[in-house]
Structure 1
Amino acid sequence: MCPQDTRGPDLSLAWVGCGGLVLTVVSPGQDRCLGGNRPGARRTCPPASARKMTRLLLGVTLERICKAVLLLCLLHFVIIMILYFDVYAQHLDFFSRFNGRNSSRAQSSNSSRPNGTAPSCGPAGADPASSANHSGTEKPLLPCQEVPPGLVGRLLIEFSSPMSMERVQRENPDVREGGKYVPLDCQPRQKVAILIPFRHREHHLRYWLHYLHPILRRQKVAYGIYIINQYGEDTFNRAKLLNVGFLEALKDEDDYDCFIFSDVDLVPMDDRNLYRCYEQPRHFAIAMDKFSFRLPYAGYFGGVSGLSRSQFLKINGFPNEYWGWGGEDDDIFNRISLNGMKVSRPSGHIGRYRMIKHDRDKHNEPNPQRFTKIQNTKVTMKRDGISSLQYRLVEVTRWPMYTNITVDIGKPPPRPARG
């Protein structure tokens, strides 16, 4: 006879057939013997060791479940931390600007600051690098590293907060009059002139200066920023303005060896996109939000580009005959290819840009002749370019954050009448 169990529900092993085990649940008052109270059924009771084994198996199962849950929690934590640091890296630029500003103030006590943010101990117009090494006992500056150590990486770029020129100036006290800067702690490898074709974009310019000055300083670039402002209200000519900027920047300082040509509405989203010149002409803005962060086509050379002094002269500069929107970038790409050079680009995740949204400017309508002109680059590039440039200098103004060059570049030729 098997005893009736009056305890709560329990787990038990039933011995069946040829020694197989079956896990069963026994309710209070239920017969623990296999076969129960059925007439003629063979009644066998599992030994006590089998019940212990059942509890052991149950414990092992629960342990495995706990380990699996713990592993899932750990995986969830890792994913959260990855997302956190990705967002943190974007916000780090804000703090980096203030840290960089404080350290620069400590290093530049002997530098000239025409914008009046700090007293100057050197002669007016003195170069910060030379004034920092005024003592003959100091060691000469070492060349700046190819990849500066203070770069942040991906940046958080937004245009919703109001921006004033006073704020830009306040955040960049080490920038000299005319928008010029020289690193104080190393010898820059290149001297870069940044040229921006411009008309009626003051709102965009403030955002551009707000972001680009800190980026360029972290990149350890010796640079000057030149706004090439088209005088009057005639049709806009981007490429001709850039030709003017090339010549006027060299008149200002004749030792520029690199030229960056940038639209005022494009801001880089990663400061590892180094604004310098390379062995081949450089296209920086390869992934704009406007184009879903993709290169529109293989020959695209628009937005932001860079050429060394020798590369620019080799292609006879940019074309002067593209009045209105479009076409000049493709003409420049053709000039580069026809002169045996190739366009270099950063990687897609570094060459990302945000564009400040805006309507198309008045007097900058699409040029209906652009496709015909692009097809004739080989014929026109020797006669149309820096060698044939004509303009009238209206005014040069050196503001604290940039140099403004206003020029009269004339009017477009009359379009042929349609037959």
Structure 2
Amino acid sequence: MQESVLLNVGFFAKSCVVLVCLCGLHLIVALFFYLTVSPTTFTNYRQMPSDSHLVTSQTHRLAALGNGTVETDVNKRIYNVTNASVIIDKVEEPTESCPETSPLLVGPIRVEFSETMDLDMVRKENLQLVMGGRYKPSDCVALQKVALIIPFRNRDEHLKYWLHYLHPILQRQQLDYGIYVIQQEGQETFNRAKLLNVGYAEALKEYDYDCFIFSDVDIIPMDDRNTYKCSSQPRHLSVSMDKFGFRLPYKQYFGGVSAMSKQQFQKINGFPNNYWGWGGEDDDIFNRLTFKGMKISRPSGDIGKCKMIRHSRDKKNEENPQRFKRIAHTKQTMNKDGIKSLEYKVINIEKDELYTKITVDIGKP
């Protein structure tokens, strides 16, 4: 009996020794694989779809700082480019083109200006943007590269509403786009047209845009089927504004929001530079397009509905008393007054997640 017990004890002891040896061998093998497998394998498992945007955002940040740009917004995200560079090689760019009509459109939109708008809230609503107000679809290749140009001075509250409504609309329209707010420095008389020329020139320094949307900061589209992109003819987008009872005020009207391709804009030598104060520059552009054999295209009145933020006339933007005289001589002045003769000085470039704001000195009348 005692001998049998001793045999059993010996058997269990040997079994325990074998089990401990197997466990040790397992740990050694696991440790070997852990130390030899590339860290990029684990990085891929953690990767989120938006990583490429985050890397691009940091790239814009470093590029701006390298040019001596002062950043004023402390809410910008900071990423480790060294670690992120491992990720960027693993992101696959889409190869198929986006459809002509986006399947994401919802049609009529409720536009209200009664609630106070906060830029931090707008940023949280648009986490997929990269620095400078840039966006492109992640699942298809956009049909156009669109720069949106806003002439600006002392309209911060209006800009908040514009960014709140337009960013989601432009993303549903599946555009590869960037937002450029062109701010006139100083207190000289406002010159909308010249600021639009500046926006065109500055946007092309950053990206190969082929379409340009020129928009006042106080006009919001009420239907996302009113696509902010260019066509074979210059396109007028704000055709049915509440300010005018949702009717076109006159046939030649080309104000508010308009779209021109790079080729169309160059063909007419851009906007005139000598319209200081309110009025006239849109009619001058209409004349330029007509003289170059182009016709204005428009969406229907229902799709082209827009809402304007009510406000009083800005100081230093009084009616231009010379506008009718200048309009009458468009044909004689258009070849020498425009993008080819544009002169200005960049004072500051601010890169925010929602926009690129460029402050410029455009001189005086």
TM-score for the superposition, normalised by structure 1: 0.69
- AA aligned to 2:184 is Q
User: What is the Cα deviation at residue 236 of structure 1?
Assistant: 0.1
Q: Which residue in the other structure is 1:111 paired with?
A: 53
Query: CA–CA distance in 2 between the matches of 1:185 and 1:159?
Result: 33
Query: CA–CA distance in 1 between the matches of 2:298 and 2:80?
Result: 42
Query: CA–CA distance in 2 between the matches of 1:285 and 1:408?
Result: 29
User: What is the Cα deviation at residue 328 of structure 1?
Assistant: 0.2
- SS at the partner of 1:378? helix
Query: CA–CA distance in 1 between the matches of 2:90 and 2:190?
Result: 42
342, 350, 353: which one pairs with 1:389? 342
- AA aligned to 1:305 is S
Query: CA–CA distance in 1 between the matches of 2:295 and 2:90?
Result: 40
- SS at the partner of 1:336? helix
User: What is the Cα deviation at residue 393 of structure 1?
Assistant: 1.0
CA contact (8 A) 2:53 2:129 kept: no
Q: Summarize deviations over 1:34-76 as a string: whole Å, max 9, x none.
A: xxxxxxxxxxxxxxxxxxxxxxxxxxxxxxxxxxxxxxxxxxx
Q: Tell me: CA distance 1:287–1:125, structure 2 relative to 1, closer, same or farther (3 Å).
A: farther
- SS at the partner of 1:123? helix
Query: CA–CA distance in 1 between the matches of 2:349 and 2:223?
Result: 32
- AA aligned to 1:116 is R
Q: Which residue in the other structure is 1:174 paired with?
A: 128
User: What is the Cα deviation at residue 111 of structure 1?
Assistant: 3.4
Query: CA–CA distance in 2 between the matches of 1:319 and 1:245?
Result: 14
Q: Which residue in the other structure is 1:99 paired with?
A: none
- SS at the partner of 1:373? helix
- SS at the partner of 1:248? helix
Long gaps (5+) in structure 2: 1-46, 59-75
CA contact (8 A) 1:111 1:131 kept: no
Q: Which residue in the other structure is 1:268 paired with?
A: 221
User: What is the Cα deviation at residue 109 of structure 1?
Assistant: 4.6
Q: Which residue in the other structure is 1:133 paired with?
A: 92
Query: CA–CA distance in 2 between the matches of 1:167 and 1:360?
Result: 29
After TM superposition, list the pairs within 5 Å mapping 1:20-419 onto structure 2.
107-112=49-54, 114=58, 115-116=76-77, 122-123=84-85, 132-133=91-92, 140-253=94-207, 255-412=208-365
Q: Summarize deviations over 1:345-378 as a string: whole Å, max 9, x none.
A: 0011000100001011000000011011111100
- SS at the partner of 2:252? coil
User: What is the Cα deviation at residue 132 of structure 1?
Assistant: 3.2
Q: Out of 187-196 and 113-122, give the one that drifted further.
A: 113-122
User: What is the Cα deviation at residue 257 of structure 1?
Assistant: 0.5
Query: CA–CA distance in 2 between the matches of 1:142 and 1:158?
Result: 36
Equivalenced residue count is 299
Q: Summarize deviations over 1:283-320 as a string: whole Å, max 9, x none.
A: 00000000000000000000000100010000000000
User: What is the Cα deviation at residue 141 of structure 1?
Assistant: 2.4
Q: Summarize deviations over 1:124-159 as a string: whole Å, max 9, x none.
A: 996xxx86317xxxxx52100111101010000000
CA contact (8 A) 1:194 1:259 kept: yes
- AA aligned to 2:188 is D
Where relative contact order (Cα < 8 A, 6+ residues apart) is larger, the structure is 2
User: What is the Cα deviation at residue 108 of structure 1?
Assistant: 2.6
CA contact (8 A) 1:111 1:122 kept: no
CA contact (8 A) 2:240 2:247 kept: yes
- SS at the partner of 2:123? helix
Instruction: List 4+ stretches of structure 1 deviating above 6 A.
Output: 117-121
- Could you say what the CA RMSD is over the residues aligned between the two structures, in angstroms? 2.0
- AA aligned to 2:107 is G
- AA aligned to 2:141 is Q
Higher share of residues assigned helix? 2
Q: Tell me: CA distance 1:379–1:232, structure 2 relative to 1, closer, same or farther (3 Å).
A: same
User: What is the Cα deviation at residue 273 of structure 1?
Assistant: 0.5
CA contact (8 A) 1:132 1:184 kept: no
Long gaps (5+) in structure 1: 1-104, 135-139, 413-419
